[in-house]
Structure 1
Amino acid sequence: MTDRDRPSLSKRVYNKLVRLIEGPPVREKTIVKVMDALERRRCPPCFLVGVYRSGTTLLRYVLDSHSQIAVPPETNFLNHLADMWRSEWLRKGLQGVGVDEEGLVLRLRDFAWSIYDDYTLAKGKARWVDKTPSYVDILDFVDLLFGPSCRYIMLYRHGLDVAQSLTAVHANDGLAGPAKRYAEAYGRSPRLAFTNYWVDQCRKMLEFEERHPERCHRIRYEDYAGNPQGRLPAVFAFLGESWEPAVLDYHKGSHDFGLQDHKIEWMRGFKPRTETYRHWDQQELREAVRLAAPVLEQLGYSVP
């Protein structure tokens, strides 16, 4: 790791001063009660899909600021439901008590949907959006659970900027999950490891988009962060929700605080970070470009 991959002292001091002057971000923790089945209504589902460090948390705050949309912190639990679904051993055990594959899907669907619905109703809203980057790996299972009514906001960010951001987090021992496994398996260069990770995850997203184009809306971090008033209304229109300009002041509202939210808690407004990879060693940059170029071009990015 180089010093450039670690947050500078001046930046940390600046962020601390911002928090002291403007006050801490408004946080809350919604208390969710288990709704009676007769009182619960099934809310429209949507997933915000993106690779880690792609601007998903910022867009989550924006969506959660809408009067009709509830966006919880990262939920993670669907990964474990997917493990249950894939387990042949578990399926055989359930068959012994009369639960076949269709019955298992129905039970998993009811359980998952009820979690989101109870949260949404507790927030006094009408629909929910889940923002959990690890769900890129289980998109087909998610679609099996929530079916043709589910919508997907597919968020992308330039792969080398994602790799640089992941490298900085990794340098401070703040990384876990699949991205960390890439770094461990590709020890020569974390930047190249995370470039590979971005390529693999984006290909999964693009393949899913190709299979379900009518239910996916593509947006790029650089576009919405650089021109929020121009780009964000289309996201809400895709969901069938009216545009509310107040969502641009997301930092003035209350949001449940999640595991990843500390990364943007000091932000106010929209400040896109681009071309953060320009300081890389030239040989490393050339190799990263070679790895990422096909997907960058497919997403409409210029290749360095």
Structure 2
Amino acid sequence: MVRRSAASVASWPGARLLPRPVFVLSAPRSGSTLLRLILDSHSRVHAPHELPLGDIAVHVPAGVPTAALALLGHDQTTAEHLLWDRLLHEELGRSGCSVLVVKHPDHVLMWKRLAVCWPDARFVFLLRHPAAIVASWSEAFGHRPSEAAAHLRQFTAALSEARRALPGVTVRYEDLVADPVAEVERVCGHIGVEFEPGMLEYGRHEHGPLQLGLGDWSDMIRSGRIQPARPIPAALPEALIDAAADWGYATRDGHTPTLNPKDANASVADACVGNG
């Protein structure tokens, strides 16, 4: 018996029902709910609430069930991929849209599985200054900055790894807030749809519940408007210095001379951040 890999199972024509899904990969508290709501406001795009694919699992008992599944060239991993694909394909079909956008903070930790499950998947990498991520996480969950940074490091490291390995478009949250037209136009171009100005007024559209466990639930995101928030904190926890440097936000000594590489003279104090 020849055992096929998960990649080979997904590679034959017709192996997947869901065409070219779009995954937003980011660390938590990076503005992914804002981006989801904006994209979900497009007439051809469906971006549902957070769905943790990694927690939607298939149980295959040992013994005969495992052996029988193996004879079909499958194992628990490939069976889960089939389940995810069918689930999301049905969701897209019910929406009447042509493009599905999926986001969950945990997905950045399993980017390799997503790329194997959907070889034609498209990726949007959403960055935010790590100091702002820590501040948002600490406020939302009551953690000290050092505790928050230690927890968030796994996400920032995975995001850096994914950006090096996968094709995709990178969006800085600070740029999205400051110039939403330009940034959303770039994302639309990447996912193959025309920009619609009404996307930016996401509060005029129905998006389902905004509550804990399904994405950001803050008053700011509920406002229905893209808006600025507090400046980025000056302190950057040591655990996230490497991520800040890798993303172009900071130097190795922890200083933050610029937020946007396109504007080397921009200062942290001038940054416009919000919609955690």
TM-score (normalizing by structure 1): 0.69
Q: 1:266 Cα shift?
A: 2.8
Kept in 2: contact 1:48–1:155 (CA 8 A): yes
Change (3 A) 1:92 1:267: farther
Q: How does 1:228-239 map to 2 (within 5 A)?
A: 228-239=180-191
**Is the aligned partner of 1:130 residue 2:102?**
yes
Q: 1:300 aligns to what SS in structure 2?
A: coil
Kept in 2: contact 1:94–1:100 (CA 8 A): no
Q: 1:60 Cα shift?
A: 0.4
Cα deviation digits, residues 39-58 of structure 1 (max 9, x gap): x9633211111111110100
Structure 2 partner of 1:193: 147
Q: 1:102 Cα shift?
A: 4.0
**Is the aligned partner of 1:207 residue 2:158?**
no
Change (3 A) 1:223 1:90: farther
Structure 1 partner of 2:194: 242
Structure 1 partner of 2:117: 145
TM-score (normalizing by structure 2): 0.75
Kept in 1: contact 2:108–2:162 (CA 8 A): no
Q: How does 1:156-235 map to 2 (within 5 A)?
A: 156-171=127-142, 190-212=144-166, 214=167, 216-235=168-187
Structure (1 or 2) with the greater helix fraction: 1
Structure 1 partner of 2:52: 76
Q: 1:265 Cα shift?
A: 4.2
Q: 2:24 aligns to what SS in structure 1?
A: strand
Change (3 A) 1:197 1:118: same
How many aligned residue pairs are there?
A: 232
Structure 2 partner of 1:267: 223
Q: Name which of 278, 294, 298 aligns with 2:242.
A: 294
**Is the aligned partner of 1:107 residue 2:79?**
yes
Higher relative contact order (CA 8 A, sep 6+): 1
Kept in 1: contact 2:18–2:89 (CA 8 A): yes
Q: Give the Cα separation in 2 of the matches to 1:270 and 1:234.
A: 17
Q: Give the Cα separation in 2 of the matches to 1:231 and 1:125.
A: 22
Q: 2:187 aligns to what SS in structure 1?
A: helix
Q: 1:97 aligns to what SS in structure 2?
A: helix
Counterpart code for 1:266:
R
Change (3 A) 1:270 1:164: same
Q: 1:219 aligns to what SS in structure 2?
A: strand
Q: Give the Cα separation in 2 of the matches to 1:269 and 1:161.
A: 20
**Is the aligned partner of 1:117 residue 2:71?**
no
Q: Give % identity.
A: 19
Structure 2 partner of 1:50: 26
Cα deviation digits, residues 21-80 of structure 1 (max 9, x gap): xxxxxxxxxxxxxxxxxxx96332111111111101000000101111111101114334
Kept in 2: contact 1:50–1:156 (CA 8 A): yes
Change (3 A) 1:206 1:246: same
Structure 2 partner of 1:179: none
Q: How does 1:89-100 map to 2 (within 5 A)?
A: 94-99=65-70
Kept in 1: contact 2:27–2:156 (CA 8 A): yes
Give me the CA root mean square deviation.
2.5
Cα deviation digits, residues 159-197 of structure 1 (max 9, x gap): 1111111111122xxxxxxxxxxx6xxxxxx20122233
Q: 1:242 Cα shift?
A: 1.1
Q: 1:129 Cα shift?
A: 0.8
Q: 1:218 aligns to what SS in structure 2?
A: strand
Kept in 1: contact 2:126–2:171 (CA 8 A): yes
Q: 1:90 Cα shift?
A: 5.1
Q: 1:99 aligns to what SS in structure 2?
A: helix
Q: Which sits farther off after the overlay, 249-258 or 154-163?
A: 249-258
Q: Give the Cα separation in 2 of the matches to 1:231 and 1:270.
A: 13
Q: 1:219 Cα shift?
A: 0.8
Displaced runs of 4+ in structure 1, greater than 6 A?
none
